[in-house]
Amino acid sequence: MLYVKNVPGWERALRIALGLAFAAMNWPANALAVAVGLMGAMLALTGLVGFCPMCAMVGRKLDKGR
């Protein structure tokens, strides 16, 4: 595996739900709506994969004890 998951299950579900909501509701073709839609798609993608590069950059690790 190329990466270690650093997003817990509850946060993954939240990221997927919010990311899909942002990506779906911003279909009009103005620049701000497209930017929010792309950010929503990236949020959903990090939830699906379970790895967030920004969280890895600040050193966040998944607590395996729980």
Q: Which 3 state secondary structure label does DSSP give 25? A: helix
Return left, alpha or beta for 24; rule: phi > 0 is left, psi -120 to 50 is alpha, else beta.
Answer: alpha
pTM of the entire predicted model: 0.79
What value does the mean pLDDT of the chain take?
85
Q: Report the pLDDT averaged over residues 52-57.
A: 88
Res. 65: pLDDT tops 60: no
Going from N- to C-terminal start, the domains of the chain cover: 9-50
Report the distance separating Cα 4 and Cα 63, nearest Å: 12
Mean pLDDT, range 10-25, rounded to an integer: 90
Once rounded to an integer, what is the mean pLDDT over residues 10-22? Answer: 92
CA–CA distance, 22 with 3 (Å, rounded to integer): 26
Look at residue 4 in the predicted model and tell me its pLDDT: 83
